[in-house]
Structure 1
Amino acid sequence: MSYKSIAVNLAVDADPSPMVKAATELAKHFGARLIGLAAADVPPLVPTGDGMVFDGEIMQIQREQIEERLHELRAEFEKLVPSTVASEWGQAVCSPTRFLTVSARAADLIVVGGDKADNVYRDVDIGSLALGAGRPVLVAATNGQHVRGGTVLVAWKDTREARRAVADALPFLARANEVVVATMDTDPDGSIHNSLADVAAFLELHGVKARTELLVGEGDGGRLLAFAHSIHADLIVSGAYGHSRLREWAFGGLTRRLLEESGINRIMSY
Protein backbone atom coordinates (compact mmCIF):
# COMPACT_ATOMS: atom_id res chain seq x y z
CA MET A 1 0.00 0.00 0.00
CA SER A 2 1.19 3.51 -0.79
CA TYR A 3 -0.14 7.01 -1.28
CA LYS A 4 -0.46 7.76 -4.98
CA SER A 5 -2.13 11.15 -4.70
CA ILE A 6 -1.40 13.71 -1.98
CA ALA A 7 -3.30 16.98 -1.55
CA VAL A 8 -1.77 19.88 0.35
CA ASN A 9 -3.65 22.93 1.58
CA LEU A 10 -1.98 26.33 1.31
CA ALA A 11 -3.51 28.77 3.76
CA VAL A 12 -4.10 32.18 2.25
CA ASP A 13 -2.58 34.02 5.22
CA ALA A 14 0.52 31.88 5.68
CA ASP A 15 3.88 31.40 4.01
CA PRO A 16 3.30 28.47 1.61
CA SER A 17 6.95 27.35 1.46
CA PRO A 18 7.05 25.01 4.50
CA MET A 19 3.87 23.20 3.50
CA VAL A 20 4.86 22.83 -0.15
CA LYS A 21 8.31 21.55 0.77
CA ALA A 22 6.93 19.03 3.27
CA ALA A 23 4.30 17.78 0.84
CA THR A 24 6.80 17.61 -2.02
CA GLU A 25 9.11 15.50 0.11
CA LEU A 26 6.23 13.10 0.79
CA ALA A 27 5.26 12.99 -2.88
CA LYS A 28 8.82 12.11 -3.83
CA HIS A 29 9.06 9.36 -1.24
CA PHE A 30 5.78 7.71 -2.17
CA GLY A 31 5.97 8.41 -5.90
CA ALA A 32 2.71 10.33 -5.62
CA ARG A 33 1.01 13.06 -7.60
CA LEU A 34 0.88 16.31 -5.61
CA ILE A 35 -2.25 18.46 -5.67
CA GLY A 36 -1.93 22.03 -4.41
CA LEU A 37 -5.16 23.50 -3.05
CA ALA A 38 -6.10 26.94 -1.76
CA ALA A 39 -9.39 28.65 -0.97
CA ALA A 40 -10.92 31.53 0.95
CA ASP A 41 -14.37 33.02 1.04
CA VAL A 42 -15.93 36.47 1.17
CA PRO A 43 -17.78 37.02 4.46
CA PRO A 44 -21.55 37.44 4.06
CA LEU A 45 -23.38 40.70 4.55
CA VAL A 46 -23.25 41.59 8.23
CA PRO A 47 -24.49 44.58 10.24
CA THR A 48 -21.86 47.04 11.42
CA GLY A 49 -21.95 49.13 14.57
CA ASP A 50 -23.98 51.90 12.96
CA GLY A 51 -26.47 49.55 11.37
CA MET A 52 -24.87 49.54 7.92
CA VAL A 53 -23.89 46.42 5.98
CA PHE A 54 -21.08 45.65 3.60
CA ASP A 55 -22.29 46.65 0.15
CA GLY A 56 -21.70 44.82 -3.11
CA GLU A 57 -18.72 46.96 -4.07
CA ILE A 58 -16.84 46.11 -0.90
CA MET A 59 -17.60 42.41 -1.34
CA GLN A 60 -16.35 42.55 -4.92
CA ILE A 61 -13.11 44.15 -3.77
CA GLN A 62 -12.67 41.41 -1.18
CA ARG A 63 -13.29 38.75 -3.82
CA GLU A 64 -10.70 40.30 -6.13
CA GLN A 65 -8.18 40.39 -3.28
CA ILE A 66 -8.80 36.70 -2.59
CA GLU A 67 -8.41 35.81 -6.25
CA GLU A 68 -5.16 37.75 -6.43
CA ARG A 69 -3.84 35.90 -3.39
CA LEU A 70 -4.86 32.54 -4.84
CA HIS A 71 -2.96 33.34 -8.03
CA GLU A 72 0.10 34.22 -5.95
CA LEU A 73 -0.13 30.91 -4.10
CA ARG A 74 -0.41 29.02 -7.36
CA ALA A 75 2.72 30.72 -8.66
CA GLU A 76 4.59 29.85 -5.45
CA PHE A 77 3.41 26.25 -5.60
CA GLU A 78 4.48 25.81 -9.22
CA LYS A 79 7.84 27.43 -8.50
CA LEU A 80 8.59 25.22 -5.47
CA VAL A 81 7.47 21.86 -6.86
CA PRO A 82 10.20 20.36 -9.06
CA SER A 83 9.39 19.06 -12.52
CA THR A 84 10.22 15.53 -11.34
CA VAL A 85 7.05 15.53 -9.22
CA ALA A 86 3.72 15.25 -11.06
CA SER A 87 1.50 18.06 -9.82
CA GLU A 88 -1.67 19.98 -10.39
CA TRP A 89 -3.45 22.94 -8.84
CA GLY A 90 -6.95 23.75 -7.60
CA GLN A 91 -8.40 26.94 -6.11
CA ALA A 92 -11.77 28.41 -5.28
CA VAL A 93 -13.45 31.38 -3.68
CA CYS A 94 -15.45 29.46 -1.09
CA SER A 95 -15.09 27.93 2.36
CA PRO A 96 -11.60 26.39 2.55
CA THR A 97 -12.92 23.54 4.71
CA ARG A 98 -15.64 22.71 2.22
CA PHE A 99 -13.25 22.99 -0.72
CA LEU A 100 -10.76 20.57 0.84
CA THR A 101 -13.52 18.18 1.86
CA VAL A 102 -14.81 17.99 -1.72
CA SER A 103 -11.30 17.84 -3.21
CA ALA A 104 -10.43 14.90 -0.95
CA ARG A 105 -12.08 12.57 -3.48
CA ALA A 106 -8.96 12.92 -5.66
CA ALA A 107 -6.41 12.20 -2.90
CA ASP A 108 -5.18 9.35 -0.71
CA LEU A 109 -3.88 11.78 1.91
CA ILE A 110 -4.59 15.41 2.82
CA VAL A 111 -1.80 17.53 4.30
CA VAL A 112 -2.70 20.69 6.24
CA GLY A 113 -0.89 23.10 8.52
CA GLY A 114 -1.51 22.98 12.24
CA ASP A 115 -1.87 26.71 12.87
CA LYS A 116 -4.89 27.74 14.90
CA ALA A 117 -7.97 28.44 12.76
CA ASP A 118 -9.51 31.75 13.81
CA ASN A 119 -11.39 32.70 10.63
CA VAL A 120 -13.74 30.15 9.06
CA TYR A 121 -13.66 32.12 5.81
CA ARG A 122 -9.88 31.87 5.46
CA ASP A 123 -8.76 28.94 7.63
CA VAL A 124 -9.46 25.21 7.48
CA ASP A 125 -11.37 23.70 10.39
CA ILE A 126 -9.19 20.62 10.80
CA GLY A 127 -11.76 18.82 12.95
CA SER A 128 -14.56 19.21 10.44
CA LEU A 129 -12.20 18.26 7.63
CA ALA A 130 -11.07 15.06 9.34
CA LEU A 131 -14.66 14.07 10.08
CA GLY A 132 -16.00 14.86 6.62
CA ALA A 133 -13.25 14.16 4.10
CA GLY A 134 -13.25 10.37 4.21
CA ARG A 135 -9.46 10.48 3.88
CA PRO A 136 -6.64 10.56 6.43
CA VAL A 137 -5.59 14.08 7.35
CA LEU A 138 -1.95 14.77 8.17
CA VAL A 139 -1.61 17.85 10.37
CA ALA A 140 1.96 19.05 9.91
CA ALA A 141 4.00 20.32 12.82
CA THR A 142 4.28 24.10 12.92
CA ASN A 143 7.10 25.42 10.73
CA GLY A 144 8.05 21.86 9.86
CA GLN A 145 9.37 21.22 6.36
CA HIS A 146 9.80 17.49 6.90
CA VAL A 147 7.44 14.68 7.87
CA ARG A 148 9.98 11.98 8.58
CA GLY A 149 7.90 9.61 10.68
CA GLY A 150 11.02 7.97 12.06
CA THR A 151 9.33 7.13 15.36
CA VAL A 152 5.57 6.69 15.11
CA LEU A 153 3.19 6.49 18.04
CA VAL A 154 -0.18 4.83 17.37
CA ALA A 155 -2.74 6.11 19.90
CA TRP A 156 -4.89 3.00 20.13
CA LYS A 157 -8.39 2.24 21.30
CA ASP A 158 -10.44 -0.64 19.97
CA THR A 159 -12.83 1.40 17.83
CA ARG A 160 -13.67 1.64 14.15
CA GLU A 161 -11.94 5.01 13.89
CA ALA A 162 -8.68 3.77 15.39
CA ARG A 163 -8.67 0.69 13.15
CA ARG A 164 -9.21 2.94 10.16
CA ALA A 165 -6.33 5.18 11.26
CA VAL A 166 -3.91 2.25 11.53
CA ALA A 167 -4.83 1.05 8.04
CA ASP A 168 -4.66 4.56 6.58
CA ALA A 169 -1.22 5.15 8.09
CA LEU A 170 0.36 1.90 6.85
CA PRO A 171 2.60 3.68 4.31
CA PHE A 172 4.13 5.72 7.15
CA LEU A 173 4.29 2.78 9.52
CA ALA A 174 6.06 0.65 6.92
CA ARG A 175 8.88 3.18 6.53
CA ALA A 176 9.26 4.04 10.24
CA ASN A 177 12.33 3.10 12.25
CA GLU A 178 10.19 2.45 15.33
CA VAL A 179 6.44 1.96 15.81
CA VAL A 180 4.85 1.98 19.26
CA VAL A 181 1.17 1.11 19.78
CA ALA A 182 0.01 2.61 23.07
CA THR A 183 -3.25 2.86 24.93
CA MET A 184 -4.46 3.94 28.35
CA ASP A 185 -5.05 1.25 30.97
CA THR A 186 -8.76 1.94 31.48
CA ASP A 187 -10.14 -1.56 30.78
CA PRO A 188 -11.00 -3.40 34.03
CA ASP A 189 -11.38 -6.83 32.38
CA GLY A 190 -7.93 -6.81 30.84
CA SER A 191 -9.14 -7.31 27.27
CA ILE A 192 -7.02 -4.36 26.15
CA HIS A 193 -3.97 -6.64 26.26
CA ASN A 194 -5.51 -8.87 23.60
CA SER A 195 -6.46 -5.79 21.60
CA LEU A 196 -2.87 -4.50 21.58
CA ALA A 197 -1.52 -7.93 20.67
CA ASP A 198 -3.92 -8.17 17.72
CA VAL A 199 -2.83 -4.78 16.39
CA ALA A 200 0.83 -5.75 16.65
CA ALA A 201 0.10 -9.03 14.83
CA PHE A 202 -1.81 -7.17 12.11
CA LEU A 203 1.08 -4.79 11.58
CA GLU A 204 3.58 -7.64 11.47
CA LEU A 205 1.64 -9.21 8.59
CA HIS A 206 2.25 -5.92 6.74
CA GLY A 207 5.96 -6.00 7.48
CA VAL A 208 5.77 -3.56 10.39
CA LYS A 209 7.41 -4.55 13.65
CA ALA A 210 5.73 -2.75 16.54
CA ARG A 211 5.98 -2.84 20.30
CA THR A 212 3.05 -2.17 22.60
CA GLU A 213 2.72 -0.02 25.69
CA LEU A 214 -0.04 0.13 28.31
CA LEU A 215 -0.03 3.58 29.87
CA VAL A 216 -1.25 4.41 33.36
CA GLY A 217 -2.62 7.84 34.15
CA GLU A 218 -5.38 10.28 33.35
CA GLY A 219 -7.22 9.82 30.07
CA ASP A 220 -7.16 13.46 29.06
CA GLY A 221 -4.32 13.12 26.59
CA GLY A 222 -1.59 14.52 28.79
CA ARG A 223 -0.13 11.13 29.65
CA LEU A 224 -0.13 10.03 26.02
CA LEU A 225 1.59 13.19 24.83
CA ALA A 226 4.16 12.94 27.61
CA PHE A 227 4.88 9.41 26.44
CA ALA A 228 5.12 10.62 22.82
CA HIS A 229 7.80 13.11 23.86
CA SER A 230 9.63 10.52 25.94
CA ILE A 231 10.12 8.26 22.90
CA HIS A 232 10.84 11.26 20.63
CA ALA A 233 7.87 10.47 18.39
CA ASP A 234 7.68 12.67 15.31
CA LEU A 235 4.30 11.32 14.16
CA ILE A 236 1.15 10.38 16.09
CA VAL A 237 -1.56 8.25 14.47
CA SER A 238 -5.06 8.32 15.95
CA GLY A 239 -8.69 7.84 15.14
CA ALA A 240 -10.90 10.92 15.17
CA TYR A 241 -13.97 11.02 17.38
CA GLY A 242 -16.70 13.63 17.37
CA HIS A 243 -19.67 15.06 15.53
CA SER A 244 -19.67 18.42 13.75
CA ARG A 245 -16.17 19.13 15.06
CA LEU A 246 -13.43 17.10 16.68
CA ARG A 247 -14.55 17.44 20.28
CA GLU A 248 -13.69 14.04 21.72
CA TRP A 249 -10.97 11.47 21.20
CA ALA A 250 -10.39 7.97 22.51
CA PHE A 251 -8.41 9.43 25.41
CA GLY A 252 -10.96 11.95 26.64
CA GLY A 253 -9.73 15.44 25.80
CA LEU A 254 -7.03 14.27 23.42
CA THR A 255 -8.66 16.14 20.54
CA ARG A 256 -7.80 19.52 21.93
CA ARG A 257 -4.43 18.34 23.21
CA LEU A 258 -3.38 16.93 19.85
CA LEU A 259 -4.50 19.98 17.93
CA GLU A 260 -2.53 22.11 20.39
CA GLU A 261 0.56 19.88 20.14
CA SER A 262 2.04 21.76 17.21
CA GLY A 263 5.52 20.26 17.60
CA ILE A 264 4.55 16.76 16.39
CA ASN A 265 3.04 15.67 13.08
CA ARG A 266 -0.35 14.00 13.48
CA ILE A 267 -2.45 11.72 11.26
CA MET A 268 -6.19 11.65 11.94
CA SER A 269 -8.75 9.28 10.41
CA TYR A 270 -12.48 8.92 10.91
Structure 2
Amino acid sequence: MAYRRLLLPLTGTAAGEAALATALITARLWNAHVHCLHVRVDARDVAPLAGEGLSGAMIEEMMAATERESGERASRVRDLFQRVTGAVGGITLADSAETALKTDGPTLSFESIAGREEDVVAQQSRLYDMAVVPHPEADEDVSSSDALHAVLFDSGRPVLIAPREAPTSVGTRICCAWNGTAESAAAIAAALPFLHHAGAVRLLYADEYQRRGPSVEGIRAYLRWHEIEAETQLFKPQTKDVGAGLLGAARDFGADLLCMGAYSHSRLRQLILGGVTRHVLENSDMPVLMCR
Protein backbone atom coordinates (compact mmCIF):
# COMPACT_ATOMS: atom_id res chain seq x y z
CA MET A 1 0.00 0.00 0.00
CA ALA A 2 1.30 3.45 -0.88
CA TYR A 3 0.37 7.05 -1.46
CA ARG A 4 1.24 7.90 -5.06
CA ARG A 5 -0.23 11.39 -5.63
CA LEU A 6 -0.30 14.24 -3.10
CA LEU A 7 -1.95 17.61 -3.63
CA LEU A 8 -0.55 20.65 -1.82
CA PRO A 9 -2.50 23.93 -1.88
CA LEU A 10 0.53 26.18 -1.59
CA THR A 11 0.70 29.56 0.13
CA GLY A 12 3.62 31.96 0.18
CA THR A 13 3.90 31.95 3.98
CA ALA A 14 6.02 30.24 6.61
CA ALA A 15 3.16 27.79 7.11
CA GLY A 16 3.21 27.08 3.38
CA GLU A 17 6.94 26.39 3.48
CA ALA A 18 6.47 23.93 6.37
CA ALA A 19 3.67 22.23 4.44
CA LEU A 20 5.88 21.84 1.38
CA ALA A 21 8.61 20.29 3.53
CA THR A 22 6.03 17.93 5.07
CA ALA A 23 4.78 16.91 1.64
CA LEU A 24 8.32 16.23 0.38
CA ILE A 25 9.14 14.05 3.40
CA THR A 26 5.96 12.07 2.75
CA ALA A 27 6.65 11.79 -0.97
CA ARG A 28 10.09 10.32 -0.36
CA LEU A 29 8.56 7.45 1.62
CA TRP A 30 6.64 6.18 -1.40
CA ASN A 31 8.41 7.84 -4.35
CA ALA A 32 5.20 9.79 -4.76
CA HIS A 33 4.32 12.85 -6.82
CA VAL A 34 3.56 16.19 -5.12
CA HIS A 35 1.50 18.66 -7.13
CA CYS A 36 1.70 22.16 -5.69
CA LEU A 37 -1.40 24.16 -6.60
CA HIS A 38 -1.75 27.88 -6.12
CA VAL A 39 -5.25 29.25 -6.68
CA ARG A 40 -5.29 32.93 -7.58
CA VAL A 41 -8.29 35.09 -6.78
CA ASP A 42 -10.31 35.78 -9.92
CA ALA A 43 -10.99 39.50 -9.98
CA ARG A 44 -14.28 38.86 -11.77
CA ASP A 45 -15.57 37.22 -8.58
CA VAL A 46 -15.36 40.59 -6.83
CA ALA A 47 -18.05 42.27 -8.94
CA PRO A 48 -21.05 40.30 -7.57
CA LEU A 49 -19.82 41.00 -4.03
CA ALA A 50 -19.59 44.73 -4.57
CA GLY A 51 -23.28 45.24 -3.84
CA GLU A 52 -25.61 47.91 -5.11
CA GLY A 53 -24.88 51.58 -5.07
CA LEU A 54 -21.35 51.35 -6.47
CA SER A 55 -20.48 52.95 -9.78
CA GLY A 56 -18.85 51.05 -12.59
CA ALA A 57 -15.62 52.95 -11.97
CA MET A 58 -15.59 51.91 -8.32
CA ILE A 59 -16.14 48.27 -9.21
CA GLU A 60 -13.37 48.41 -11.81
CA GLU A 61 -11.05 49.93 -9.20
CA MET A 62 -11.87 47.11 -6.77
CA MET A 63 -11.21 44.53 -9.47
CA ALA A 64 -7.88 46.14 -10.35
CA ALA A 65 -6.81 46.19 -6.69
CA THR A 66 -7.79 42.53 -6.34
CA GLU A 67 -5.81 41.67 -9.45
CA ARG A 68 -2.70 43.43 -8.11
CA GLU A 69 -2.95 41.74 -4.72
CA SER A 70 -3.51 38.35 -6.35
CA GLY A 71 -0.47 38.85 -8.57
CA GLU A 72 1.73 39.79 -5.61
CA ARG A 73 0.54 36.73 -3.68
CA ALA A 74 1.19 34.48 -6.67
CA SER A 75 4.70 35.90 -6.97
CA ARG A 76 5.42 35.11 -3.30
CA VAL A 77 4.18 31.56 -3.77
CA ARG A 78 6.32 31.04 -6.88
CA ASP A 79 9.39 32.48 -5.11
CA LEU A 80 8.86 30.15 -2.15
CA PHE A 81 8.47 27.14 -4.42
CA GLN A 82 11.65 27.93 -6.35
CA ARG A 83 13.65 28.67 -3.21
CA VAL A 84 12.64 25.49 -1.38
CA THR A 85 12.92 23.16 -4.36
CA GLY A 86 16.27 24.66 -5.28
CA ALA A 87 17.62 23.77 -1.85
CA VAL A 88 16.48 20.13 -1.71
CA GLY A 89 17.92 17.19 -3.55
CA GLY A 90 16.52 13.89 -4.70
CA ILE A 91 13.26 15.39 -6.02
CA THR A 92 12.67 15.61 -9.77
CA LEU A 93 10.67 18.52 -11.17
CA ALA A 94 8.09 17.15 -13.60
CA ASP A 95 6.29 19.31 -16.15
CA SER A 96 3.64 16.70 -16.93
CA ALA A 97 2.00 13.58 -15.52
CA GLU A 98 3.72 11.52 -18.21
CA THR A 99 7.13 12.76 -17.07
CA ALA A 100 6.32 11.97 -13.44
CA LEU A 101 5.10 8.46 -14.29
CA LYS A 102 8.31 7.68 -16.16
CA THR A 103 10.57 8.98 -13.38
CA ASP A 104 12.06 6.76 -10.70
CA GLY A 105 11.83 8.43 -7.33
CA PRO A 106 9.72 11.29 -5.95
CA THR A 107 8.58 14.07 -8.28
CA LEU A 108 7.22 17.57 -7.90
CA SER A 109 5.19 19.98 -10.03
CA PHE A 110 3.67 23.45 -9.75
CA GLU A 111 0.53 25.01 -11.17
CA SER A 112 -1.14 28.38 -10.69
CA ILE A 113 -4.75 28.86 -11.76
CA ALA A 114 -7.54 31.36 -11.10
CA GLY A 115 -10.71 30.48 -9.23
CA ARG A 116 -12.31 30.08 -5.82
CA GLU A 117 -9.68 28.33 -3.72
CA GLU A 118 -12.02 26.21 -1.61
CA ASP A 119 -13.90 24.95 -4.67
CA VAL A 120 -10.84 24.23 -6.79
CA VAL A 121 -8.89 22.53 -4.00
CA ALA A 122 -11.81 20.33 -2.89
CA GLN A 123 -12.55 19.23 -6.44
CA GLN A 124 -8.95 18.60 -7.46
CA SER A 125 -8.24 16.68 -4.21
CA ARG A 126 -10.60 13.94 -5.41
CA LEU A 127 -7.96 12.93 -7.95
CA TYR A 128 -5.21 12.50 -5.34
CA ASP A 129 -4.53 10.01 -2.55
CA MET A 130 -4.23 12.77 0.01
CA ALA A 131 -4.12 16.54 0.34
CA VAL A 132 -1.37 18.16 2.40
CA VAL A 133 -2.43 21.55 3.74
CA PRO A 134 -0.58 24.27 5.65
CA HIS A 135 -1.25 24.71 9.34
CA PRO A 136 -3.74 27.51 9.99
CA GLU A 137 -1.77 30.67 10.62
CA ALA A 138 -1.26 31.57 14.26
CA ASP A 139 -3.08 34.89 13.76
CA GLU A 140 -5.90 33.35 11.72
CA ASP A 141 -9.04 31.83 13.23
CA VAL A 142 -9.13 28.19 12.18
CA SER A 143 -12.82 28.57 11.30
CA SER A 144 -11.83 30.74 8.33
CA SER A 145 -9.50 28.14 6.80
CA ASP A 146 -11.80 27.54 3.86
CA ALA A 147 -9.47 25.34 1.83
CA LEU A 148 -8.78 23.03 4.76
CA HIS A 149 -12.45 22.55 5.57
CA ALA A 150 -13.38 22.20 1.90
CA VAL A 151 -11.01 19.23 1.60
CA LEU A 152 -12.33 17.70 4.81
CA PHE A 153 -16.00 18.06 3.91
CA ASP A 154 -16.10 17.93 0.12
CA SER A 155 -13.22 15.90 -1.31
CA GLY A 156 -13.75 12.36 -0.04
CA ARG A 157 -10.02 12.22 0.65
CA PRO A 158 -7.87 12.35 3.79
CA VAL A 159 -6.04 15.54 4.63
CA LEU A 160 -2.61 15.83 6.22
CA ILE A 161 -2.32 19.08 8.18
CA ALA A 162 1.30 20.17 8.41
CA PRO A 163 2.69 21.64 11.65
CA ARG A 164 3.75 25.27 11.90
CA GLU A 165 7.40 24.26 11.60
CA ALA A 166 8.76 21.66 9.21
CA PRO A 167 9.03 18.23 10.87
CA THR A 168 12.13 16.07 10.67
CA SER A 169 10.08 12.92 10.09
CA VAL A 170 6.50 11.86 9.38
CA GLY A 171 4.92 8.55 10.38
CA THR A 172 7.72 6.72 12.18
CA ARG A 173 5.73 6.72 15.45
CA ILE A 174 1.98 7.08 15.03
CA CYS A 175 -0.86 7.70 17.44
CA CYS A 176 -4.41 6.96 16.27
CA ALA A 177 -7.29 8.55 18.16
CA TRP A 178 -10.19 6.11 18.45
CA ASN A 179 -13.72 6.94 19.56
CA GLY A 180 -15.78 4.36 17.67
CA THR A 181 -17.10 6.77 15.03
CA ALA A 182 -17.22 6.42 11.25
CA GLU A 183 -14.81 9.37 11.03
CA SER A 184 -12.15 7.71 13.18
CA ALA A 185 -12.57 4.45 11.24
CA ALA A 186 -12.12 6.30 7.94
CA ALA A 187 -8.99 8.03 9.26
CA ILE A 188 -7.37 4.76 10.30
CA ALA A 189 -8.22 3.14 6.96
CA ALA A 190 -6.73 6.13 5.12
CA ALA A 191 -3.59 5.93 7.28
CA LEU A 192 -2.87 2.25 6.53
CA PRO A 193 0.15 3.00 4.31
CA PHE A 194 1.63 5.11 7.12
CA LEU A 195 0.76 2.45 9.72
CA HIS A 196 2.50 -0.30 7.73
CA HIS A 197 5.58 1.91 7.50
CA ALA A 198 5.64 2.97 11.17
CA GLY A 199 8.01 1.57 13.75
CA ALA A 200 5.43 1.91 16.55
CA VAL A 201 1.66 2.47 16.66
CA ARG A 202 -0.48 3.42 19.65
CA LEU A 203 -4.28 3.64 19.83
CA LEU A 204 -5.48 6.44 22.12
CA TYR A 205 -8.92 6.24 23.71
CA ALA A 206 -10.86 7.76 26.60
CA ASP A 207 -14.30 7.41 28.09
CA GLU A 208 -14.89 11.14 27.56
CA TYR A 209 -13.92 10.77 23.86
CA GLN A 210 -15.84 7.57 23.05
CA ARG A 211 -19.03 7.78 20.99
CA ARG A 212 -21.50 5.04 20.10
CA GLY A 213 -19.50 2.40 18.24
CA PRO A 214 -16.88 -0.33 18.57
CA SER A 215 -14.38 -0.27 21.41
CA VAL A 216 -10.66 0.22 21.03
CA GLU A 217 -10.14 -3.56 21.12
CA GLY A 218 -12.28 -3.82 18.00
CA ILE A 219 -10.08 -1.51 15.96
CA ARG A 220 -6.97 -3.15 17.38
CA ALA A 221 -8.23 -6.51 16.07
CA TYR A 222 -8.95 -4.89 12.68
CA LEU A 223 -5.37 -3.68 12.43
CA ARG A 224 -4.09 -7.19 13.17
CA TRP A 225 -5.83 -8.38 9.99
CA HIS A 226 -3.54 -5.89 8.21
CA GLU A 227 -0.50 -7.24 10.08
CA ILE A 228 -0.23 -4.07 12.17
CA GLU A 229 0.38 -4.51 15.89
CA ALA A 230 -0.83 -1.55 17.92
CA GLU A 231 -0.73 -0.97 21.66
CA THR A 232 -3.61 0.78 23.42
CA GLN A 233 -3.37 3.69 25.81
CA LEU A 234 -6.11 5.29 27.91
CA PHE A 235 -5.61 9.05 28.02
CA LYS A 236 -7.15 11.58 30.35
CA PRO A 237 -8.44 15.02 29.43
CA GLN A 238 -6.33 17.91 30.66
CA THR A 239 -8.40 20.42 32.66
CA LYS A 240 -11.51 18.73 31.21
CA ASP A 241 -10.25 19.34 27.65
CA VAL A 242 -10.24 16.12 25.61
CA GLY A 243 -8.25 17.69 22.77
CA ALA A 244 -5.46 18.78 25.09
CA GLY A 245 -5.34 15.33 26.66
CA LEU A 246 -5.15 13.73 23.23
CA LEU A 247 -2.26 15.94 22.11
CA GLY A 248 -0.47 15.42 25.41
CA ALA A 249 -0.71 11.65 25.06
CA ALA A 250 0.61 11.82 21.49
CA ARG A 251 3.57 13.96 22.60
CA ASP A 252 4.32 11.57 25.46
CA PHE A 253 4.56 8.76 22.90
CA GLY A 254 6.97 10.81 20.80
CA ALA A 255 4.57 10.64 17.85
CA ASP A 256 5.45 12.34 14.59
CA LEU A 257 1.94 11.71 13.21
CA LEU A 258 -1.50 11.84 14.80
CA CYS A 259 -4.36 10.14 12.95
CA MET A 260 -7.95 11.04 13.87
CA GLY A 261 -11.47 11.57 12.61
CA ALA A 262 -12.67 15.15 12.18
CA TYR A 263 -15.87 16.71 13.46
CA SER A 264 -17.71 13.75 14.95
CA HIS A 265 -19.98 16.47 16.29
CA SER A 266 -21.24 19.04 13.79
CA ARG A 267 -18.74 21.64 12.63
CA LEU A 268 -21.11 24.43 13.68
CA ARG A 269 -21.24 23.12 17.25
CA GLN A 270 -17.45 22.86 17.39
CA LEU A 271 -16.94 26.35 15.99
CA ILE A 272 -19.29 27.80 18.60
CA LEU A 273 -18.50 25.64 21.62
CA GLY A 274 -15.06 24.35 20.78
CA GLY A 275 -14.23 20.66 20.43
CA VAL A 276 -11.54 18.06 19.98
CA THR A 277 -11.06 18.72 16.26
CA ARG A 278 -10.78 22.45 16.69
CA HIS A 279 -8.35 22.17 19.60
CA VAL A 280 -6.08 19.82 17.65
CA LEU A 281 -6.16 22.00 14.53
CA GLU A 282 -5.22 25.07 16.53
CA ASN A 283 -2.61 23.56 18.85
CA SER A 284 -0.94 20.55 17.25
CA ASP A 285 2.82 20.74 16.76
CA MET A 286 2.98 17.51 14.73
CA PRO A 287 1.47 16.43 11.39
CA VAL A 288 -2.16 15.37 11.76
CA LEU A 289 -3.99 13.11 9.33
CA MET A 290 -7.74 13.74 9.43
CA CYS A 291 -10.81 12.29 7.70
CA ARG A 292 -14.40 13.41 7.76
TM-score, normalised with respect to structure 1: 0.82
CA 1:118–1:125 in structure 2 vs 1: closer, same or farther (change >3 Å)? Answer: farther
Which residue is equivalent to 1:9?
9
Equivalents in 2 of 1:131, 1:228: separation in Å? 25
Q: Which amino acid aligns with 2:125?
A: A
Which residue is equivalent to 2:232?
212
Matched ranges for 1:80-99 at <5 A: 80-81=84-85, 82-83=91-92, 84-99=105-120
Equivalents in 1 of 2:36, 2:265: separation in Å? 28
Which residue is equivalent to 2:99?
none
* Cα root mean square deviation, aligned: 3.4
Q: Deviations over 1:210-248 (max 9, x none)?
A: 001233444632222221222222211111126884754
Which residue is equivalent to 1:226?
248
Equivalents in 2 of 1:6, 1:197: separation in Å? 32
CA 1:12–1:243 in structure 2 vs 1: closer, same or farther (change >3 Å)? Answer: farther
Which residue is equivalent to 2:261?
239
Equivalents in 1 of 2:268, 2:260: separation in Å? 12
**Aligned 8 A contact 1:110 1:135 in 2:** yes
Which residue is equivalent to 2:21?
21
Specify which of 34, 56, 70 is matched with residue 60 of structure 2: 56
**Aligned 8 A contact 2:185 2:261 in 1:** yes
Which residue is equivalent to 1:101?
122
**Aligned 8 A contact 1:131 1:244 in 2:** no
3-state SS in 2 of match to 1:221: helix
Equivalents in 2 of 1:123, 1:97: separation in Å? 9
**Aligned 8 A contact 1:147 1:265 in 2:** no
Q: Which runs of 5+ in 2 are unaligned?
A: 86-90, 93-104
Q: Which runs of 5+ in 1 are unaligned?
A: none
Equivalents in 1 of 2:113, 2:266: separation in Å? 23
**Aligned 8 A contact 1:12 1:40 in 2:** no
Which residue is equivalent to 1:195?
215
After TM superposition, give the deviation of residue 72 of structure 1 in Å: 5.1
3-state SS in 1 of match to 2:106: coil
3-state SS in 2 of match to 1:3: coil
Equivalents in 2 of 1:54, 1:130: separation in Å? 37
**Aligned 8 A contact 2:9 2:121 in 1:** yes
**Aligned 8 A contact 1:131 1:240 in 2:** no
Specify which of 66, 70, 74 is matched with residue 66 of structure 1: 70
Equivalents in 2 of 1:245, 1:24: separation in Å? 30
Count of residues in correspondence between the two structures: 263
After TM superposition, give the deviation of residue 104 of structure 1 in Å: 0.4
CA 1:30–1:246 in structure 2 vs 1: closer, same or farther (change >3 Å)? Answer: farther
**Aligned 8 A contact 1:131 1:246 in 2:** no
- Higher helix share goes to which structure? 2
Equivalents in 2 of 1:147, 1:134: separation in Å? 26
Equivalents in 1 of 2:121, 2:80: separation in Å? 19
Which residue is equivalent to 2:202?
180
3-state SS in 1 of match to 2:36: strand
**Aligned 8 A contact 1:46 1:54 in 2:** no
**Aligned 8 A contact 2:121 2:147 in 1:** no
CA 1:186–1:76 in structure 2 vs 1: closer, same or farther (change >3 Å)? Answer: closer
Equivalents in 1 of 2:118, 2:266: separation in Å? 12
Q: Deviations over 1:68-119 (max 9, x none)?
A: 5425534643564432533333322333222210110221011011123849
Does 2:116 match 1:112? Answer: no
**Aligned 8 A contact 1:151 1:179 in 2:** yes
After TM superposition, give the deviation of residue 124 of structure 1 in Å: 4.2
After TM superposition, give the deviation of residue 12 of structure 1 in Å: 3.9
**Aligned 8 A contact 1:67 1:93 in 2:** no
Which residue is equivalent to 1:258?
280
Q: Which amino acid aligns with 1:66?
A: S
